[in-house]
Amino acid sequence: MSALTLYNYDLDENCYKVRLLLSCLGAEVGQVAVDVFPGRENLSAPMRAMSPSGTLPILKQDDFVLHEAEAILSFLARRDPDRRFLPDDPASFGRVMMWLTFSTRELDAAVHARATAMMDAPGDIEALRTAARDALRIMDDHMTRQHFEGLDYFAGPQPTIADIALFPSFALSRDYNIDHDHFPALRRWARAIRKLDGFITMPGIPDYH
C-alpha cells in the first residue's frame, strides 16, 4: 500500500486544518500543491474526478480517496492508535461531532467571507461578515462557559479535531475585517491551541492572540 498523499493549497484554511492535525499527530504524508488562485487547477477534470465539487483538501492512498476537511480529520484521528484527538466515549464523541457540524455549517460564512475578501470570490461581503461574526459569538459564548467549568477546549478537557476544525476561521478572521478583541474567550482558547505539540501556522494567522 502506498503512502498517503494530500492535495493541498497553502492559503486554503480547510487544507490548513488537515496539515495542522497531521503535524500534531507527527504523521508524514506526501503533498501535491494545487494552484487554486489564480490557476483554478482544483476545477480541472483530474481534480474533479477525486473531488466532484472541486474542493480541497483531498487525501488519497491508492484507490482510497477522501475529500472534505472534516471527513479527513475524522479519518486521520480514528487511525491514530492513541486516539489523541477523537475520544471513544459516546458523550465526548457526540460533542466533537456537534462542533464539526458547526464548522461546516455556521462557519461556512466565515470561509466564504475570507474568500470574497482575499480571492475575489463572489459574495455579499457585509452579509457574510455579519453571519461569520454571529458564528464566532456563539463560539465565544461557549468557550466562556467552558472556562467557568475549568475546560480549555470545545468538547472537553482535551483538544480534539473539533478544535482543529474551528481554529482557522477565528485565527484568520482579520482577513475579512473581524477583530479578535471582541472575542476574549476565543483569544484564550487560541493561545491554548498554539501550545499544542506540533502546532504549525499558515499565512494570515497573526503571531499573537
Q: What is the mean pLDDT of residues 77-88?
A: 94
Confidence band (pLDDT; 50, 70, 90) for 60? very high
Pick the range with the lowest mean pLDDT from 24-33, 113-122, 146-155, 190-199.
113-122
Q: 14 is written with which cell numbers?
A: 480547510
Please state whether beta strands 5-8 and 30-33 pair in parallel, antiparallel, or not at all (unpaired): parallel
Give the residue extent of every domain in the chain: 5-79, 90-194
Percent of the chain topping pLDDT 70: 99
pLDDT digits (tens, 9 = 90+) for 33-52: 999 988 899 999 999 999 99
Distance CA 149, CA 156 (A): 10
pLDDT for the residue numbered 28: 85
Buried b (16+ CB within 10 A) or exposed e, 19-49: bbbbebbeeebebeebebeeeebbeeeebee
pTM: 0.95
Distance CA 104, CA 106 (A): 6
Distance CA 135, CA 169 (A): 10
User: Superfamily assignment of 5-79 in CATH?
Assistant: Glutaredoxin (3.40.30.10)
Distance CA 63, CA 5 (A): 12
The residue with greater pLDDT, 15 or 118, is: 15
pLDDT for the residue numbered 208: 64
Confidence band (pLDDT; 50, 70, 90) for 1? low
Q: Judge whether residue 190 has pLDDT over 90.
A: yes
Spatial neighbors of 138 by CB under 8 A, at least 6 apart, are 102, 106
Spatial neighbors of 107 by CB under 8 A, at least 6 apart, are 132, 135, 166, 169
What three-state secondary structure class fits 68? coil
Contact between 154 and 163 under an 8 Å Cβ cutoff? The reply is yes
Q: What is the mean pLDDT of residues 12-24?
A: 97
Spatial neighbors of 126 by CB under 8 A, at least 6 apart, are none
pLDDT for the residue numbered 120: 73
pLDDT digits (tens, 9 = 90+) for 141-189: 999 999 999 999 999 999 999 999 999 999 999 999 999 999 999 999 9
pLDDT for the residue numbered 88: 92
Distance CA 114, CA 13 (A): 10
Q: Judge whether residue 209 has pLDDT over 60.
A: no
- The hierarchical CATH code for the domain 90-194 is 1.20.1050.10
Mean pLDDT of the chain: 94
Sign of the CA dihedral running 135, 138, 144, 147 = negative
